[in-house]
Structure 1
């Protein structure tokens, strides 16, 4: 398996500031690997919420994560303010592949990057559903070729 090259900030159309918390550090003195997934999820959902494309309490459509991965290049630690870059690599009728990267301070290259796939489903039946127009419009702003 070939190790990927770290992406740059310019590769991502949306950047979400993410301060680390004391609880993010593990016993080895850096942000624990599982915490990056929370950063990813927070950045995507903050973007969607700010654009009116996600109603976490009453929306009829919700996103379920069905796949995820992350590659780590350099450690981050509390207290740092990180930036999470977000882009959409694939947009289907009911699913989205988000690609994300975490940047430290003013670093131009990612200290970690990964992806996750959301399948959007009906809140109650949990069956896949077509993406609502407002969600499609918000996601179009993140698409890269």
Structure 2
């Protein structure tokens, strides 16, 4: 089974049944061995911080933990070298912080990056697999 690293769009699609990518994310789990970037949880919280109170966030992250365990999705460890790649990508490709970190994670772990974000298509030294609605 091919291994891939995924980012926040996959996490969001997986945990929210109403998300446009939900069905696709479930199908992906049958085709790939999925690893979650360690930075996805941070980005998810930052993007959605205004949507919930403290007590709700505790429940949300417990639910995420349950889903990750259920589907046997491992969170990859962080590493300083990922950030060196990230800085290079931010400058070279004018990427956002999180996009550059995900690309750096893909390079560091030598895993294809499965994402709906087309920005990864311009990064020549990583493999990008488009996450598309099926």
TM-score between both structures, scaled by the size of structure 1: 0.26
Q: Whose strand fraction is larger, Structure 1's or Structure 2's?
A: 1
Q: Whose helix fraction is larger, Structure 1's or Structure 2's?
A: 2
TM-score between both structures, scaled by the size of structure 2: 0.27
